[in-house]
Amino acid sequence: MAAFRAHGMLPFHGMLRRCPSTRALALLALAVTGCSRVEEPVSERRLAPSSPATTTAPPPPSAPPAPPSAPTLLLTLPSSAYQAAIFADDEAIELLTSSAAYRLLLGEEPLERALDLSFAATVTRQSYVYWSQGAIWSEARRATKPGGATKLAALVEQPQRFVADIARDEFAFLAHSTDDHYSIHKLEQRRVKTLYTSPGSIDALTMIGDALYFVERPSNADWRIARVKLSGGKVSFTASKTGRWPATLSGTKSDLVYYDGNRRDVLALSPDLEQERVLAKDFICSPLAVGANVYCSTMEGIFELSATSKPRQIVAASRKLITNLAVSSERLAFITDVGGHGQDQLAVNVVPLAEPGAPAPR
């Protein structure tokens, strides 16, 4: 907009020495006995009209943010929300409890399969993978095989955790030996192959593509993030940090994402662990899930973090605690603890991330 100048009097042309006169009697209340100095203006500045070339129209009002989506309830179970795991791809949502697998498809009844999954099972592109009765087993996700589960390998001790990239068929697992050593393994020709043994503890593990990422505490005070290829080889590490370590790692082939609860930052690491950037500061993100964007559970609800906009609320706040998230290209699923008075009960809800046929928000 054109700048406006102050409306006032210009410098005076000169000073005249005048005495009170008949015409000035009305001003006697302001006069003094004798002569006074009176300033006479030469002219007065006027406002310059605005130039059409410099006039800017006010910006249009911004559209209000879309309200959070109303979740669709898929399933409730008399089971612990803290011992259940959830996975998602564009085909289905998979819920694993200690005693069953539930395949959830929108608009259809849940498909329940009784399996001895315990607490460490995972989901690959084609199978459920779990430990039971001294062995590692797989069971097809889509249909029950006539012969039942497939025994993959004998393993005396139950693993701490199985991990997989749901887009692939490979998997790995974390073991904690009786002599207090943590190690990461895979199966190769039905035999257990060790990929890494830690000098301390391993507290989080995930698989992205053909690489495994984990949080390691070589000592009680420090922690670091590490990477090892599923094919084996050299292990890469970040610099050590102090304070509370991340409980969860998640990501895609372009980013490994974690929540630093000490600093309340959401951070992304490059796959080679060489570069780190802040996605959000002073922002709670636990639990979290990563797809095209990052999804954070907070006390105010579930938010979507993207590189191009502010955090967007996609699920409103609830009095019930969210314990786990899973994301596909079109929807976000989450587990909520809906039990009360000491009773275990969970609910699985889902919200859309994009209109059918439209690209996911970026």
pLDDT tens string, the chain, 362 residues long: the values are 444 333 443 333 333 334 344 444 333 333 334 433 334 333 333 333 434 444 455 555 555 666 787 899 999 999 999 999 999 999 999 999 999 999 999 889 999 999 999 999 999 999 999 999 999 999 999 877 777 899 999 999 999 999 999 999 999 999 998 888 999 999 999 999 999 999 999 999 999 999 999 999 987 779 999 999 999 999 999 999 999 999 999 999 999 999 999 899 999 999 999 999 999 999 999 999 999 999 999 999 999 998 888 899 999 998 899 999 999 999 999 999 999 888 999 999 999 996 544 443 33
pLDDT of residue 151: 96
3-state secondary structure of 55: coil
Are 254 and 297 within 8 A, CB to CB?
no
pLDDT of residue 63: 56
Are 279 and 272 within 8 A, CB to CB?
no
> For residue 229, what is the enclosing H or E element?
strand 222-229
pLDDT of residue 61: 56
154 - beta bridge partners?
135
Q: Per-residue b/e over 88-105, b at no fewer than 16 CB within 10 Å?
A: bbeebbbbbbbebbbbbe
Tokens 């990052």 label which residue? 294
Are 240 and 222 within 8 A, CB to CB?
yes
Instruction: Say how far apart CA 38 and CA 19 lie, in whole Å.
Output: 10
pLDDT of residue 43: 37
Span between the terminal Cα atoms of the chain, in Å: 35
Within 8 A by CB and 6+ apart from 90, the residues are: 328, 329, 330
Are 65 and 301 within 8 A, CB to CB?
no
CA 328 to each of CA 117, 167, 195, 357: distance values in angstroms, whole numbers, following the listed order? 23, 11, 29, 14
Domains and CATH numbers, the chain: 72-352 (2.120.10.30)
Helix then strand then coil, in percent of the chain rounded to 5, is: 0, 45, 50
Q: DSSP for 119-134, please give it.
A: TT-EE-SSEEEEEETT
What does the block give as tokens for 237? Answer: 């590490």
Burial zone of 313 (CB within 10 Å; 0-12 exposed, 13-18 middle, 19+ buried): middle
Spatial strand order of the sheet with 100-104 comes to: 85-88, 93-96, 100-104, 111-114
Q: What is the DSSP code (8-state) at residue 360?
A: P
pLDDT of residue 143: 78
Within 8 A by CB and 6+ apart from 266, the residues are: 257, 258, 259, 260, 278, 279, 280, 283, 285, 288, 294, 296, 305
Task: Tally the C-alpha atoms within 13 A of residue 317's C-alpha that lie toward its C-beta.
Answer: 4
Burial zone of 62 (CB within 10 Å; 0-12 exposed, 13-18 middle, 19+ buried): exposed
